Chain A
Amino acid sequence: MPTLWFCLVAVMVAMYTVFDGFDIGTGIAHLFVARSTPERRLVLQSIGPVWDGNEVWLIAAGGTLYFAFPALYAASFSGFYLPLMMVLWLLILRGISIELRNHLQGAIWSPFWDVVFALSSMLLAVFFGAALGNVIRGVPMDETGRFFEPLWTDFLPGANAGILDWYTVLVGLAAFFALGMHGAFWISLKTRDAIRERARVFAARSWYVVVVATAAITVTSFRLQPQILRNLTDRPWGYLFPALALVGLIGAYRYHAAHREAKAFLCSSLYLAGMLSSAAFGVYPYVLPAVTDPSRALTVHNAAAPLTGLRIGIVWWSFGMALAVAYVAYTYWSFRGKVAVDREGY
């Protein structure tokens, strides 16, 4: 039962990354791809009806993590206190920049919110990547099963690790370029002409960086977290996950070259999902490894809630997720196609 919930939470996090990932990526590419104020308005219109729903995946994944693994939720959220609070501030700034930008026209108003939107999106991508890096590397857990990580110490991933060290920064940068590429594919899918061309160029350039970054974090992750290699040796079917990421990465390039934006976007989604599932598979059964003493780590078993509570959860959760998937499908179907200027709005 705990392992099932581990998989379900991993799926929800992957859904969040794929969905909110493209609108964060849109923010990363925003200033580079859309040059004039009307162009930028158009880019924001492409995520306007969906970004809020995409962020619901974060709430839903957080809630699911909370009741399935209360000890993990408690230890990690309090241990990553400062960066999480900064993530919250960035989410706030980003949310209002998307919603408020088009309320007024003006030489000051829109350009200001465009920059807030872009900067908050960029920082969020780096923070989320660094968070993933922390979970793979492990945290300085004390003997009571708690920790409090400073933002940085000596930038080395040792027993005295901080949130930011060279490894987590590397993962953060990889996330930055991967989401930037993902967002650029989205923009090229939803727009025409000059913006679409610039988005295509942005995606192609990011792709090369993503390839290098993926190779770099793969090598370093194997070195820092020996559990990954153990899991792959014990359960070779786990090679499926990195293989999916690789297929996604190659497919993204090929479909991009063939001007098939929808398929390129799906491939970059596959890449993100493949990378996350690889990480989840790699650290299992840990959910929060310890860099201090492996016996202090949180695992799927010692962090899970008692069984009765988990069994009750699976019933309503399955029903609710089926509904949620239907709503999401309906939203994207309603707003399918390219966005155009002067479309209906409020």
Chain B
Amino acid sequence: MDVALAVHRLHFAFTVTFHYLFPQLTMGLALLLVIVKTVALRTGDEHWAEASRFWIRIFAINFVMGVVTGIPMEFQFGTNWSEFSKAAGNVIGQTLAMEGVFAFFLESTFLGLLLFGERRLGPRGHWLAAFLVFLGAWISGYFIIATDAWMQHPVGHAVGADGRIELVSFWGLVGNPWALWQFAHNMIGATITACFVMAGVGAFYLLTGSHVRYGEIFLRVGVLAGVVATIVQLYPTGDGHGRMVAEHQPATLAAMEGLFKTERGAPIALVGQPDVEKQRLDNPIFVPRMLSFLTYRRWLSEVSGLEAFPRENWPDNIPLLYYSYHIMVGLGTMFIAVMLVASWLLLRGALFRTRWMLWILMLAIPFPYIANTAGWITAEVGRQPWVIYGLMRTSSGYSHNVSAGNALFTLIGFMGLYTVLAILFLFLVRREIEHGPGAAEA
């Protein structure tokens, strides 16, 4: 690969991966905050109101990290991917501008009121502010997904004689079927992160015997929302998204599954290492015929392997794609198991004294972050070698006028700056968790 191309790709990959650590929590947490505030409003229980204040503080730290690392994402389309932007700007610029116009103004307005306006707005007004922040966060998520979905499965556009791509159908772009499934799958993924974080902090409080009353609230919300979210993530959202890939990116599906040969009744590989040179999967453990069933709902249907596609259209990093996909699916399956057991214990009234389960929930906090990140790597590495699937190669999309040296300079700059951000973030969040909710009785 061209060095400049590699650096530009790494530049975007690094900054977007770091960025998405924050929105995945805030988007999911916004939903949980609405739930907590609804209970507080209905019951008038001050503990639930205080619990919401604690999570608003955590939300605020994550939100600012998300904002400051998010602005570079929009800029990088122009700075590092100018050839792509020149060709496709009229389409993807619209969804990016819509995010600013429809979502960010809403979100920033009501976040200010959520943080600074509880007394002034009263409980109902403050609930509404929380709801509107949730709405803004999820709308902004939709426009970003719609942007990515168009790159995965371009629709609603026309290509001019000069190669410029223009939007011809607003509803085609906004109602892209790929975007609908991807949005559902992504937002539930964000909700899972928030559920595990909330339940994990609750478990930590119970295990350390501090803020116990609040820890129980956190566990209740995190586990009950979590059991629903983890199951919905597998079916229907994960399944629906997967069938989009099967239909529109069959070569990607084959690479994700490590399927080199076309097969009737294709098995699914639970583990194994793809060897691209020898075109086979080493040390596999298969479930027979499962891939055919999952893809086409028939046990003996034929699934195309990579051999069915021209080599130059294969994703250019098959092992990374295969592993990310398997990590995502493997973790997702474990999340269902953890949440099922935890919710069963909760409903029996035993969760709060079952220490081994609390340990598992506390230690599980990093894993939904890993699963969400692996999911995005699957989506983006899976789209390769295209920047717009079937329309434009990634190798023709980067800024040819920005040299590898200049791009590396700014990549290193971002790495340094983001390391500082990460340290500050962990320091402040640790402080908030230690301080805990209920300042008066802490």
Which residues of A pack against B, CB within 8 Å?
48-50, 52-53, 55-56, 58-60, 62-71, 73-79, 81-82, 84-85, 88-89, 91-93, 95-96, 99-100, 103-104, 146-148, 305-306, 308-310, 312-313, 315-317, 320-321, 323-324, 327-328, 330-331, 334-335, 343-346
Chain A residue numbers with a CB within 8 Å of B413 are: 85, 89
Chain A binder among B36-44, B105-113, B215-223, B238-246:
B105-113
Report whether over half of chain B's contact residues are helix, strand or loop; otherwise say mixed. helix
25 A–B contact pairs at CB < 8 A? A49-B115, A52-B112, A56-B105, A60-B104, A60-B105, A63-B94, A69-B89, A70-B164, A73-B89, A74-B82, A78-B399, A84-B79, A89-B417, A92-B417, A96-B421, A99-B61, A148-B406, A305-B89, A306-B164, A306-B166, A321-B101, A323-B101, A323-B105, A335-B112, A344-B117
Q: Shortest beta-carbon distance, A94 to chain B, in Å?
A: 8
Query: Are A100 and B428 in contact, with the CB atoms below 8 A?
Result: yes
Chain B, 17-72, CB within 8 A of any chain A CB = 53, 56-57, 60-61, 64-65, 67-69, 71-72
Chain A residue numbers with a CB within 8 Å of B431 are: 103-104
Q: Given A63-B99, A84-B79, A315-B170, answer yes or no on A68-B93 (Cβ-Cβ < 8 Å).
A: yes
Chain A residue numbers with a CB within 8 Å of B401 are: 78-79, 146-148
Report whether over half of chain A's contact residues are helix, strand or loop; otherwise say mixed. helix
Chain B residue numbers with a CB within 8 Å of A81 are: 79, 399, 402, 406, 410
Query: Are A73 and B93 in contact, with the CB atoms below 8 A?
Result: yes
Decide yes or no whether B86 CB sits under 8 A from chain A. yes
Decide yes or no whether B77 CB sits under 8 A from chain A. yes
Q: Given A85-B410, A308-B158, answer yes or no on A331-B167 (Cβ-Cβ < 8 Å).
A: no
Residues 75-117 of B, flagged 1 when their CB comes within 8 A of A and 0 if not, give 1011110110111111111101111111011101101110111
Complex: how many Å from CA A324 to CA B100?
9
**What are the 9 tightest A-B residue pairs by CB atom distance, in nearest-first order?**
A70-B89, A77-B78, A63-B97, A67-B93, A66-B93, A60-B100, A49-B112, A320-B101, A305-B90
Q: Shortest beta-carbon distance, A242 to chain B, in Å?
A: 30
Query: Are B90 and A70 in contact, with the CB atoms below 8 A?
Result: yes
Q: Given A100-B428, A335-B112, answer yes or no on A77-B64 (Cβ-Cβ < 8 Å).
A: no
Query: Are A327 and B105 in contact, with the CB atoms below 8 A?
Result: yes
Decide yes or no whether B160 CB sits under 8 A from chain A. yes
Complex: how many Å from CA A53 to CA B136?
13
- Name which of B77, B89, B118 has the most chain A CB atoms within 10 A of its CB: B89
Complex: how many Å from CA A64 to CA B95?
10
Query: Are B82 and A312 in contact, with the CB atoms below 8 A?
Result: no
Query: Are A55 and B112 in contact, with the CB atoms below 8 A?
Result: no
Complex: how many Å from CA A99 to CA B109?
16
Decide yes or no whether B168 CB sits under 8 A from chain A. yes
- Name which of A321, A331, A345 has the most chain B CB atoms within 10 A of its CB: A331
Chain A residue numbers with a CB within 8 Å of B117 are: 334, 344
Query: Are B104 and A56 in contact, with the CB atoms below 8 A?
Result: yes
Complex: how many Å from CA A346 to CA B98?
30
Chain B residue numbers with a CB within 8 Å of A53 are: 105, 108-109, 112
Chain B residue numbers with a CB within 8 Å of A146 are: 82, 400-401
Q: Other than the known A63-B98, A88-B72, A312-B94, what 19 A-B pairs have Cβ atoms closer than 8 Å?
A: A67-B93, A67-B96, A67-B97, A73-B86, A79-B401, A81-B79, A91-B71, A100-B424, A146-B401, A313-B94, A316-B101, A320-B102, A323-B101, A334-B117, A335-B112, A335-B116, A344-B117, A344-B118, A346-B60
Q: Given A64-B97, A67-B90, answer yes or no on A78-B158 (Cβ-Cβ < 8 Å).
A: no
Q: Which residue of B lies closest to A330 (CB)?
A: B109
Chain B residue numbers with a CB within 8 Å of A345 are: 115-116
Query: Are A328 and B105 in contact, with the CB atoms below 8 A?
Result: yes
Query: Are B90 and A309 in contact, with the CB atoms below 8 A?
Result: yes
Q: Shortest beta-carbon distance, A109 to chain B, in Å?
A: 11
